[in-house]
Amino acid sequence: MDKICLTLPTNRACADTIEAVGREAAHAARRFGAEVHLLVLDSADRLSFARHARAVRAAGIAPGVVAHHLDEAGQRAFLRAVIDRAGLGAADRVLGLMLPSAVSYGACTNRAFLIAAALGCRSVHRRDSDSRYQELDGEPVFPIAHELAFLGRKAADVTASVSEIREITKVTEGPHAVEHADRTVAMVGGSFVGVPSVDLTDLQLRAPDVHREVVGLWAPAAWSRQERDRLVDESFKGAGTEPFTHDHTVLGPVDPMRVDMCNIAFHHEVHERVPLPPATDTIGSDYFLFHLLYHAGLPGVLHNRHIVNFHTDERKTGPGFTAYQTRYAKFVLSMLHFRFLHARMAQLGDSLLDDRHRLRADVVSGLVRESTALDDTENVHRLDTLTRSYRTLGGAYAQTAERLRRQGPRLLAEARADMEDFAHLLDAWPALVQAARTTPLHGKAQP
């Protein structure tokens, strides 16, 4: 029986979402005969955690569903056991990268990757707490139906089952065409409908010109105004607002702009070889694997069972607003490094894979280390532009501008340090995955 991991990391109250994901887990077990490990990694407050626990227990009653609900203490105990078993140096640093004290979208998913390895799961299916499922004729539209139908199969074996095929043969920069049909479908994903994934809606309503300038900062510095405008028009909007009416699936390289981390599944050969960047207090770093798979030429299936995105209130006022805008600033600064990585990965293409079409973490690590030597001039300009733009709006935006001005040197240094941390984790990852495979998830907590 196939084991899969359907995971929901959260740091906020979301019992309703857990119940809905539990129903998706039951659907997967019933329809596909899989053993579904529903994994909720929970950093929420005590009252929310208790409500979540009831929802997780209820989900675990369904036949074929095994429910796991771990608070940070339980996650830490597992990680310490894995790190000790791996025999890694700088163990405290590795633990900090896997379970940092600050918010990290990459780190929470990396924990799910290691736990999935411990549970013997062949795939990881990720959902978000601030989302819900679309419905058709009163029934929820679960993405996992496509994920389990296609993930891990040879591309050649699913061509008759998809609606559309794109670029199964990819021509690299060299003289030879590389057949992708014999490669494994490494990723299956969709996007979201509803509000934009990055919450800059208030800024867009108040000052459209400032919004355009602020969003355009994540473009490469060398891009023309026209290229930057096209990116702004496309950014953070997912699949728009059209409701689901029928299935449509596309086999081929998946454009990273067309998928979202709330609606994604990876084959174990992906996440057991390359983790996500563990950067803290930022957004967007957990999209790295989309770009890596695209440039490496590993096929995926893009579907239209888009999840409904919504925004929670804590990021709209007071400290939550400032924290979220600071995360956006760090995202903009991270683009100096990630844009470099995307360009280098595009150049390398199939060289990112070994002779068995598996991702080469050592090559990725080398590229990440290259990126740490980049000059900061572009980022100084980005930070100055963001600060100036926010200052013109007054109120909470002006307060955020002052905070960014004061913290500017630290934020610039953190953008580089985040890449150094990523390279360190890449080097440690093979040993961590190997150790996780023989580490019990619910073992005795260690001091």
Burial of 31 (0-12, 13-18, 19+ CB in 10 A): middle
Mean pLDDT, range 355-369, rounded to an integer? 96
Residue 30 token pair: 């019933």
Q: Name all contacts of 266-269 with Cβ < 8 Å and 24+ positions apart.
A: 266/123, 266/124, 266/151, 266/186, 266/187, 267/122, 267/123, 267/151, 267/152, 267/184, 267/185, 267/186, 267/187, 268/116, 268/117, 268/121, 268/122, 268/123, 268/124, 269/184, 269/186, 269/358, 269/359
pLDDT number for residue 313: 67
Question: Amino acid identity, residue 62?
Answer: A
pLDDT number for residue 443: 64
In the chain, what is the straight-line distance between the N-terminal and C-terminal CA atoms, in Å? 35
Q: What is the pLDDT of residues 25-83, one digit of tens each?
A: 999 999 999 999 999 999 999 999 999 999 999 999 999 999 999 999 999 999 999 99
Q: At 162, is the pLDDT very low, low, confident or very high (cuts 50, 70, 90)?
A: very high
Flag whether pLDDT at 446 surpasses 50: no
The DSSP letter of residue 86 is: H
Flag whether pLDDT at 171 surpasses 50: no
Q: At 1, is the pLDDT very low, low, confident or very high (cuts 50, 70, 90)?
A: low
pLDDT number for residue 168: 53
If DSSP codes are grouped into helix, strand and coil, which group holds residue 227?
helix
Flag whether pLDDT at 174 surpasses 60: no
Q: What is the pLDDT of residues 339-352, one digit of tens each?
A: 999 999 999 999 99
Domain ranges of the chain: 143-259+269-436
Flag whether pLDDT at 170 surpasses 50: no
Supply angle C-alpha 282, 285, 287, rounded to 5: 140
C-beta of residue 145 within 8 angstroms of C-beta of residue 305: yes
Flag whether pLDDT at 135 surpasses 70: yes
The DSSP letter of residue 159 is: G
Q: What is the pLDDT of residues 92-129, one digit of tens each?
A: 999 999 999 999 999 999 999 999 999 999 999 999 99
C-beta of residue 131 within 8 angstroms of C-beta of residue 20: no
Q: What is the pLDDT of residues 206-226, one digit of tens each?
A: 999 999 999 999 999 889 999
Q: How many helices (H) and strands (E) does the chain have?
A: 16, 16
Average pLDDT, the chain: 92
Residue 243 token pair: 């409701």
Rounded Cα gap, residues 366 and 427, in angstroms: 10
Rounded Cα gap, residues 4 and 230, in angstroms: 38
Rounded Cα gap, residues 27 and 30, in angstroms: 5
Flag whether pLDDT at 338 surpasses 70: yes
C-beta of residue 441 within 8 angstroms of C-beta of residue 68: yes
Rounded Cα gap, residues 275 and 284, in angstroms: 14
Mean pLDDT, range 257-279, rounded to an integer? 97
Q: At 166, is the pLDDT very low, low, confident or very high (cuts 50, 70, 90)?
A: confident
Flag whether pLDDT at 444 surpasses 80: no
Q: At 179, is the pLDDT very low, low, confident or very high (cuts 50, 70, 90)?
A: low
Rounded Cα gap, residues 128 and 46, in angstroms: 20
pLDDT number for residue 281: 94
Tell me the whole-structure pTM to 2 decimals. Answer: 0.94
Q: What is the pLDDT of residues 277-329, one digit of tens each?
A: 999 999 999 999 999 999 999 999 999 999 998 877 666 667 888 888 999 99
For every residue of 291-349, DSSP letters joined together read HHHHHHT--EEEE--PEEE---GGGTSHHHHHHHHHHHHHHHHHHHHHHHHHHHHHHHG
196 Cβ neighbours under 8 A, 6+ residues apart: 235, 236, 237, 238, 309
The DSSP letter of residue 197 is: S
